[in-house]
Amino acid sequence: MNNFKENFDKYGFCLIKKNFFIDEEIKNIENIFDELIKGQNEKVEIDNNCMGGKSLAVKNFIDEKLEIKRFTNKIFNDEKLINTIKKNVGENFKISEITYRRSYPGDIGLGLHQDAIGENTIVINLSNNDFNGKTCFLKSSHNFDSIKKLFKSSSISDKLTKFSKFFLDFIDTSRGSLIMFNNKVWHGRFPNKSRNFSSSLLIGVYREGSNIKYEDENIFEKIKNKLDYKYEIDQRRNLEHSSITKSQDGSYFINYEKSNKENNTIQTYKNIKTKIYISFLKLIYSFKIR
Ligand SMILES: [Fe+2]
């Protein structure tokens, strides 16, 4: 039975494949990132600030280490996995970016937030089977009002997120597993209270027809040229799609309107635990204790 798509639509996330990568492959990849983090490669971007304290993000590494490309391509060369991803986000999806994230012991995590419409993420869990430093989700919250609308804030504070564990979901946190989520679902990074770092690779995936906005045309070109996946090669053709328009400021848009079917889905799924949590947050925010 294939219920990936059902879970993805209903909850906003799903497990794509348990333990897809084996320990040896992961050890190899972690060694490469150890090297990159310590190294002096100017092309590789290491961001210590973008994800809160005691965590870092590594970007622009895909052309620097062939092994990482091979590792990630294993997903996109697997017919079964590709079909699952296509079922979730449509036939002509586009890979936008790949980021390595590491959360060190003492990392306070990242509060629940939402990202761009049309954005989805495939997460490759590279570390051990616990919640520390892992991505957490509020089930079905992509069907509710946005955080911005409800709380006039772009995110729920990391402190509140930390105390909300009972309401949050983690899907499969085991090493080598692949999960996928709709970035509209309220999500964040759980604090790392363990003695080990927790790490993952995050692959940004946009469905065909989603809004894609890059503030800087150069970034768009860089990403387009950078990603050389077998599957992505097909997607480049898609970039010439008639629905893509370039705005005056140089950013690109893909026009996308929600189908009635999708709107109905949004109305249909509600989740009681999520409802209770949102009510709880509203109460907390009404007292201005964040
Ligand atoms: Fe996010």
**Model pLDDT for residues 108-123, shown as the tens digit of each residue:** 899 999 987 778 999 9
Rounded to whole angstroms, the Cα distance separating 85 from 8 reads 10
CA–centroid distance, 115 to ligand 1, in Å, is 5
CA–centroid distance, 39 to ligand 1, in Å, is 27
pTM higher than 0.85 for the full model?
A: no
pLDDT in tens, 133-182: 999 999 999 988 889 888 888 888 888 888 888 899 998 889 999 999 99
- Which conformational region is residue 209 in: left (phi greater than 0), alpha (psi within -120 to 50 degrees), or beta? left
At 41, list the tokens.
């490669």
CA–centroid distance, 112 to ligand 1, in Å, is 8
State the pLDDT confidence band at 2, using cuts at 50, 70 and 90. Answer: low
CA–centroid distance, 185 to ligand 1, in Å, is 9
CA–centroid distance, 234 to ligand 1, in Å, is 26
Residue 50's pLDDT is what?
Answer: 57
CA–centroid distance, 113 to ligand 1, in Å, is 6
Residue 39's pLDDT is what?
Answer: 83
> Tokens 């629940």 appear where?
112
Residue 37 has pLDDT above 60, yes or no: yes
Greater pLDDT, 45 or 220: 45
CA-to-CA dists, residue 280 to 57, 160, 276, angstroms: 32, 11, 6
Domain total in the chain: 1
Residue 225 has pLDDT above 80, yes or no: no
CA-to-CA dists, residue 148 to 55, 157, 206, 209, angstroms: 25, 13, 22, 24
CA-to-CA dists, residue 230 to 76, 78, 99, 282, angstroms: 7, 11, 19, 46
Rounded to whole angstroms, the Cα distance separating 197 from 56 reads 11
Q: What is the domain range of residue 54? A: 4-287
Q: How many Cα atoms within 13 Å fall on the side-chain side of residue 226?
A: 21
CATH for 280: 2.60.120.620
Number of neighbours of residue 242 by Cβ within 10 angstroms: 6
Residue 59's pLDDT is what?
Answer: 86
CA–centroid distance, 74 to ligand 1, in Å, is 24
CA–centroid distance, 120 to ligand 1, in Å, is 9
CA–centroid distance, 157 to ligand 1, in Å, is 14
CA 162 to chain centroid: 19
